[in-house]
Amino acid sequence: MRKVFWFAVGAGVTVFVVVKGRQLWQRATPQAIAQRASESAQGVSESVQDFVIRLRAAMAERETELRDTLGLPEA
């Protein structure tokens, strides 16, 4: 009975290692790395675009406030 138990434990560990090894290998392929890099770059690009839009809106709002305070005509 003891041998059967240890055989089952060994088989289970082997299956686990093989499955995790395949997953790691698939994540380490050049295509997978390129895909992750592309997705990351796209996320950064969207964040930068969002920042620029918010910055321009804040600049326009502040310019309007300053023009009102100083009594300057609208541009």
The first and second tokens of residue 6, run together, are 């240890």
pLDDT tens profile 11-39 = 999 999 999 999 999 988 999 999 999 99
Position 1 scores a pLDDT of 87
User: Residue 38 corresponds to which amino acid?
Assistant: S
Q: Is the pLDDT of residue 5 over 80?
A: yes
The first and second tokens of residue 66, run together, are 């300053």
Position 38 scores a pLDDT of 92
Position 64 scores a pLDDT of 94
Q: Is the pLDDT of residue 75 over 80?
A: no
Position 74 scores a pLDDT of 81
Domain boundaries, the chain: 2-70
